[in-house]
Amino acid sequence: MFRPVPLWLLLLSLVMGIVVMIGFGGLVLHPPRQKLLQESTLWLANVPLVLKKTVKSITKTPRGYAHASYDEDLPEGLWRNPDQPFVDDGYVLVRAFDENLKRSVVRLISLRDGAVVHQYAPDIRTMNSRSTFVSPLIDVRRDRDVRRNLMMHPLLMPDGGIVIHDSSPLARFDACGHMEWMIDGIFHHSLERDGDGNLWAAFRYPKAKVPDVGPLFEDESIMKVSPDGKILHEARIADILDSNQLGWLWRGRPYTDDPFHLNDVQPVLKSGPYWQAGDLFISQRNLSLVMLYRPSTGKVLWWKANFSHMQHDVSIIDDHRIAVFDNNWRVAAPEGAVDGFNRVAVYDFATDSASYPLDDVMKKLRVHTRAQGRATPLPNGDFMIEETEAGRLMRIAPDGTVRWRYIAATPSMRRLELRWSRYVDPASNQEAITLAKDAQCN
């Protein structure tokens, strides 16, 4: 161990090590065509990331548990404001944890009384067993197994079933959790239905199509899927920006593996003075960018950056206003930090201006989720606010009154993350609600 080493041998070893590193880097950037060699190269390149994830899993809060600070320990369930005569006849789809099953589930909860009218436990194992994609970004069997899949932004379907994903394949399940179809790949964040009943989802390519980037580059696209699981349309975010002379928004910045961070694709259901049915509002967090896009022509009709900071969840309020959940990150915070509290940014196309109508109550309630977050406008002017990381969901009136609050937590009152809860209006979803309620599952 302590024997002297000739200088020439040391220098030769260093030179050979550098040559091997450069050669391996070239293989990672331009993977060989031979499948076994390609997969072996990506596996080796992924070793440091796997080690990093392993260390994090040991030292940090387990996935699915709240890691944002919150003021008080509260039991899971619905609280209705006793000072308000208001009764909410709607429902919410929320991610919860079933202590008996020891896994995440999706619950359809009545907001009238807090009763769970149906619980979904989708067959994640079957979905993952049919997945074949290989990616340095994620391994669904390792990272999204039954225990780790949190089923983000579940969408209630007309037959009472749901469609789910969680940086995993997109899959439809019936009310009893049996899989009906799946589309392989990495689907994440929002999932919405358009006026024709088709689905719009955010999709990440398992391997980037952008040339000369690292293996962990997150190459994003929007995807339109039919109710029976057929891909109808797909468009890469990089291509959309480049073809509309907006490539400078991401190409002019220092290199990052996550330049876009696509997090919402919101279909326009009704035509108005500023958009047409079939258009899409698209949110890209890492550009603090919201844009209006027309898939039929490939044109960006409007875009706006920095009226919100690292935002999520763009929603349409009426024929001239949109709302955005503004995470309101502090500038230059390395891992992201909320600058005091989250905001709801309302942009008015008629006046070309933004306002922040819930600032007082958001500050008072200390809504401060660093990641994720939802602001769903409701027909009477209220907003449903999801503080994702703290497991808190609230309906807030325009005057700041909290009409109800739902807390996601374990029996020991340890908070659970929410995963983009969805308000379900019985006016347009009554048949689906009834079918879910009446489902006879073994």
Question: Mean pLDDT across the stretch 5-10?
Answer: 79
CA dihedral 389, 390, 394, 397 (to 10 degrees): -90
Per-residue model confidence (pLDDT) at position 31: 64
Number of Cβ within a 10 Å radius of residue 270: 11
Residue 7 confidence (pLDDT): 82
pLDDT in tens, 337-349: 899 999 999 999 9
- Inter-CA distances, 61 with 13, 27, 56, 417, 418, Å: 41, 35, 8, 11, 15
Report the Cα 57 to chain-centroid distance in Å: 20
pLDDT in tens, 374-403: 999 999 999 999 999 999 999 999 999 999
More confident residue, 319 or 214: 319
Residue located via tokens 């358009």:
194
- pLDDT, residue 23, reads 73
**How far is it, in rounded angstroms, from Cα 234 to Cα 223?**
4
Residue 20 has pLDDT above 90, yes or no: no
pTM score, whole prediction: 0.88
Which of 40-54, 245-259, 321-335, 357-371 shows the lowest mean pLDDT across its residues? 40-54
Per-residue pLDDT of 272-294, as tens digits, reads 999 999 999 999 999 999 999 99
Please check whether residue 277 is in contact with residue 270, taking contact to mean a CB–CB distance below 8 angstroms: yes
> Residue 359: what are its φ and ψ, rounded to 5°?
-55, -45
Q: What angle do CA 72, 75, 77 make, to 5 degrees?
A: 125
pLDDT tens digit sequence for 143-182: 999 999 999 999 999 999 999 999 999 999 999 999 999 9
pLDDT in tens, 79-119: 999 998 999 999 999 999 999 999 999 999 999 999 999 99
3-state secondary structure of 233: strand
> What are the two backbone dihedrals, phi and then psi, of residue 185, each rounded to the nearest 5 degrees?
130, -170
Whole-number Å distance between alpha carbons of 78 and 62 = 25
| Residue 76 vs residues 98, 100, 370, 420: alpha-carbon distances, Å | 12, 16, 22, 17
Side chain identity at 2, as an amino acid letter?
Answer: F
* 185 vs 10: CA distance, rounded Å: 46
Name the pairing type of β-strands 422-424 and 91-98.
antiparallel
Banded model confidence at residue 329, pLDDT cuts 50, 70, 90 = very high
Which SS3 state, helix, strand or coil, does residue 17 take?
helix
Phi-psi region of 388 (alpha: psi -120 to 50; beta: other; left: phi over 0): alpha
